[in-house]
């Protein structure tokens, strides 16, 4: 008896639900989200993934000096393809490079190509080193003394994925390049 009543009322309840507006798509704004058209295809998972396609985490490990973090931040902010960069978090321990790291959250134009960003950043580091720390790159002034950029000679890529890039300050590499006259 209860089942028969349920089968009779179920179509009526579904009709009320469909006409109430509860099933219509609504726009929800998230911080940093790009405003999208109200009618959007795809599943909720697809829309969630699409919302973050232009975000990249850029991490620097081993930097204990302010000048290195400042140069790195300028490069991250001004590399071609980057719309904005924000220092997201950091841990600096002056006498312990292994415990030091800094994280930037970068917004790129369109879908990010982290491997191109990594290459561009390495070229910019080389330009700063070659100019002795005094150069303008993409209208951004770099004004550092040779001792301030000494550790920049040890900058090298560590890891890269489609959503993150990690660089490390390799002190041995910096020392070897300094001795070789680079």
Model pLDDT for residues 14-49, shown as the tens digit of each residue = 555 555 454 444 444 445 555 554 455 677 776 666
The overall pTM is greater than 0.75? no
- Residue numbers of the chain with a pLDDT score lower than 50: 20, 22-30, 37-38
d(CA 135, CA 139): 9
Q: Kindly list the domain boundaries of the chain, sorted by start residue.
A: 55-180
Judge whether 160 and 56 are in contact, CB under 8 Å.
no
pLDDT score of 177: 83
pLDDT score of 157: 93
**What is the torsional sign of CA 92, 133, 104, 28?**
positive
Find, among 48, 70, 91, the residue nearest to 141 by Cα. 70
d(CA 60, CA 57): 10
Model pLDDT for residues 51-60, shown as the tens digit of each residue = 667 889 999 9
């Amino acid at each position: 008896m209860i089942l028969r009543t349920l089968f009779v009322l179920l179509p009526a309840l579904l009709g009320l639900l469909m006409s109430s507006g509860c099933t219509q798509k609504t726009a929800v704004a998230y911080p940093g989200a790009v405003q999208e058209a109200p009618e959007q295809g795809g599943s909720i998972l697809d829309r969630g993934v699409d919302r973050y396609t232009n975000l990249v985490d850029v991490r620097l490990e081993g930097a204990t000096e302010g000048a290195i973090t400042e140069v790195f931040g300028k490069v991250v902010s001004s590399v071609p393809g980057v719309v904005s960069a924000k220092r997201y978090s950091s841990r600096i321990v002056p006498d312990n490079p292994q415990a030091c790291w800094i994280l930037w959250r970068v917004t790129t134009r369109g879908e990010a190509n982290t491997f191109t960003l990594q290459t561009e950043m390495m070229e910019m580091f080389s330009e700063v080193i070659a100019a002795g720390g005094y150069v303008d790159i993409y209208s951004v002034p770099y004004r550092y003394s040779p001792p301030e950029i000494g550790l920049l000679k040890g900058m090298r890529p560590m890891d890269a994925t489609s959503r993150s890039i990690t660089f490390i300050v390799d002190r041995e590499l910096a020392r070897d390049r300094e001795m070789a006259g680079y």
